[in-house]
Amino acid sequence: MDTTTVTNFKSEEYFINMGPQHPATHGVLRLLLTIDGEIIKKVEPDLGYIHRSIEKMCERDSYQQIVHLTDRMDYLSSHINNEAVCLTVENALELEVPERVKVIRTIIGELTRIASHCLWWGVLGMDVGALTTYFYGFRDREMINDIFEETCGARLTMNYNIPGGLMFDIHPNFVQRTKDFVTHFKTKIPEYDKLLTGNVIFQKRMKGVGILSKEDAISFGASGPVGRGSGYSCDVRKHHPYSALDKVIFNEALKTEGDSLARYEVRIQEMWESLSIIEQLIDNIPEGEHKVATKAVIKLPKGEFYQKVETARGELGVFINSTGTKNPYRLKFRSPGFSNLSLLNHIAVGGKIGDLVASMATLDIVVPDIDR
Amino acid sequence: MDLMKVNKRAVMTNEALQNLIGSWIPELEFTEEDSQYLNITVQPENLHQLMSQLKSDSETNFDYLFCVTGMDWGAALGVIYHLESTTHRHSIVVKVKTEDRENPTLDTVSNIWKTADFHEREVFDFFGIKFNNHPNLKRLFLTDEWEGFPLRKDYVDEVNMIIK
């Protein structure tokens, strides 16, 4: 081809819509991409497609009702979200829950984390073109969902926590089934590594893509595996332990590379750590009540209360401003996905659209968590 | 020398924080009432100076802005900032209020913490508080045509809101 014709082509920036219905956005998220050829110049997320104004709804609801709304934020961490609100209310009331409750909450919280990471791992593979992972991830997640179904009656939006404890005691099969799962899953994570982690194509898609420095991670308010992939020690379970997490020994998964592969490896490592936490607790569930009685109408004292927990996605904060009535005057959810999404533009600029998909998959976005 | 370094790394008590920060700007109000954190109330004109000093000063080093909450206190509108230091691991709360409900305006802190960009857009969307020098201040969740600011206490929507 004559080289002059090639140089005569004008390089122009143009817009392209990614979403709101796009498999890689994992929900209804619209990204406005400014691109030059295939190089991304700017990514602007357009939010609000499933905004339900949960914070406004909370202002008219009782504290027991608010717990149910939190399932509908990050639906893959529903148990941990419930726990966050319950802990805030319990702290405000200075209510000490039984040890049994704390241990069960922690075990189910870690099971939730593994289930969430299984799903993430499955769809991550799918995003970068490896369809098999989806079925492997969902196979193992199914076992956890079955455990939840037996104990809580629900598989996804569990509503198992209530202010003061748990709605019911655990099912008689819970301990055995959880142990079975731990034994099963220990043989499966190496399988995950064999199938995807060591895959050359996968490594090429992940390594050096979507780099986030530690300094930027802190400035963008990154948390969870996104922050820890950049070497930022931000595990709430370590720094502000809650429930039974101060009684267990585990390592905070940290990687310093800050690229997509680092975020991926952090999550794989976290699954091992969660298994270890469950193993330490499952044989030591203290006997006792599964809840303490609270008044039918809970009124928080006047004041401001803040509680943070570590969901599968990062730091979830619950801020309650109470005037002493049965409803919060103002309730704010600091959701991990919201801050993690805000850095997408930063890590995607200069890369290609395919890299954006890979980076976004390792941010592990759940859109209802962002839109609230 | 080494000992001094160790001391500098230590968590500052609320009292020490109050003494230090109080020496920067005299008009600040401090309280620990009804909260697990030390609360600072700052005048809007001093907000940006205080915030940038809270981050840049090596003794406070509040580099992690973990929560930005818009508030409608009835008479005043404002913002609550929750800050933590990732090196010293101490936390603090900064509150800023403006009485102007027609045209509430505060300075942005998005040039200090990048996360504030999105969080301030959220506050603008729900409370109508404008932020000076914000790079991209427009609605985040709601559509551009939306009228009013839903999280304000005087917001009325007879069709969609269920009042108990």
Judged by CB atoms closer than 8 Å, whether chains meet at B164 and A315 is answered as no
Given a contact cutoff of 8 angstroms between Cβ atoms, the answer to whether A304 and A332 are in contact is no
Given a contact cutoff of 8 angstroms between Cβ atoms, the answer to whether B123 and B70 are in contact is yes
Residue B153 belongs to some domain of the structure: no
Of B66, B126, B150, the CB nearest to A221: B66
Q: Torsion over CA of A307, A83, A241 and B89, rounded to 10 degrees? A: -20
Q: List pLDDT tens digits, range A283-335.
A: 888 888 888 888 888 888 888 999 999 999 999 999 999 998 888 999 999 99
Question: Phi, psi at residue B68, to the nearest 5°?
Answer: -125, 115
Which CATH number belongs to the domain containing residue B94 in this structure?
Answer: 3.30.460.80
Helix, strand and coil in chain A, % to nearest 5: 50, 15, 35
pLDDT band for position A365 (cuts 50, 70, 90)? confident
CA distance B117 to B133: 11
Chain A residue with Cα closest to B89: A239
- Kindly report the CATH number that applies to the domain delimited by A51-371: 1.10.645.10
CA distance B109 to B111: 5
A132-152 helix and A99-127 helix, angle to the nearest 10 degrees: 160
ipTM over 0.95: no
Q: Which residues of chain B have pLDDT under 70?
A: 1-10, 163-164
Given a contact cutoff of 8 angstroms between Cβ atoms, the answer to whether A29 and A365 are in contact is yes
Calculate mean pLDDT across residues A246-260.
88
Hey, is the C-beta of B150 within 8 angstroms of any chain A C-beta?
yes
**In A, residues 26-85, which contact B (CB 8 Å cutoff)?**
47-48, 51, 53, 55-56, 60
Q: List pLDDT tens digits, range B89-112.
A: 888 999 999 888 888 999 899 899
Given a contact cutoff of 8 angstroms between Cβ atoms, the answer to whether A160 and A79 are in contact is yes
Supply the pLDDT for residue A7: 61
Tokens of A124: 């991550």
Amino acid at B19: N
Please give the span between the terminal C-alpha atoms of chain B, in angstroms, as a whole number.
63
Within 8 A of B141 by CB-CB distance, chain A residues are 47-48, 51, 371
- Count of C-beta atoms within a 10 Å radius of residue A253: 19
**How many alpha carbons lie under 13 Å from residue B103 in its C-beta half-sphere?**
1
- In angstroms, the separation between the Cα of residue B25 and the nearest Cα of chain A is 24
- In angstroms, the separation between the Cα of residue B68 and the nearest Cα of chain A is 8
**How many alpha carbons lie under 13 Å from residue A202 in its C-beta half-sphere?**
23
Within 8 A of A343 by CB-CB distance, chain B residues are 114
Mean residue pLDDT across chain A: 88
CA of B109: how far to CAs of A336, A348, B60, in Å? 20, 23, 17
Hey, is the C-beta of B64 within 8 angstroms of any chain A C-beta?
yes
Range of the domain at B25: 2-132
Residue B154 belongs to some domain of the structure: no
Question: Within chain B, how many helices (H) and strands (E) appear?
Answer: 4, 7
Given a contact cutoff of 8 angstroms between Cβ atoms, the answer to whether B124 and B150 are in contact is no
pTM over 0.90? The answer is no
Tokens of B129: 């508080």
Query: Into how many domains does chain B fold?
Result: 1
Supply the pLDDT for residue A118: 92
Residue B156 belongs to some domain of the structure: no
Tokens of B164: 């108990």
Residue B13 belongs to some domain of the structure: yes
Residue B145 belongs to some domain of the structure: no
Within 8 A of A219 by CB-CB distance, chain B residues are 63, 113-115
Supply the pLDDT for residue A186: 92
Q: What DSSP letter does each residue of A105-169 carry, written as one string?
A: HHHHHHHHHHHHHHHHHHHHHHHTT-THHHHHHHHHHHHHHHHHHHHHS-SSS---EETTEESSP
pLDDT at A26 over 80: no
Of B37, B126, B164, the CB nearest to A60: B164
Q: List pLDDT tens digits, range A95-143.
A: 889 999 999 999 999 999 999 999 999 988 888 888 888 899 899 999 9
Residue B160 belongs to some domain of the structure: no
Calculate mean pLDDT across residues A157-182.
89
Report the Cα A342 to chain-centroid distance in Å: 15
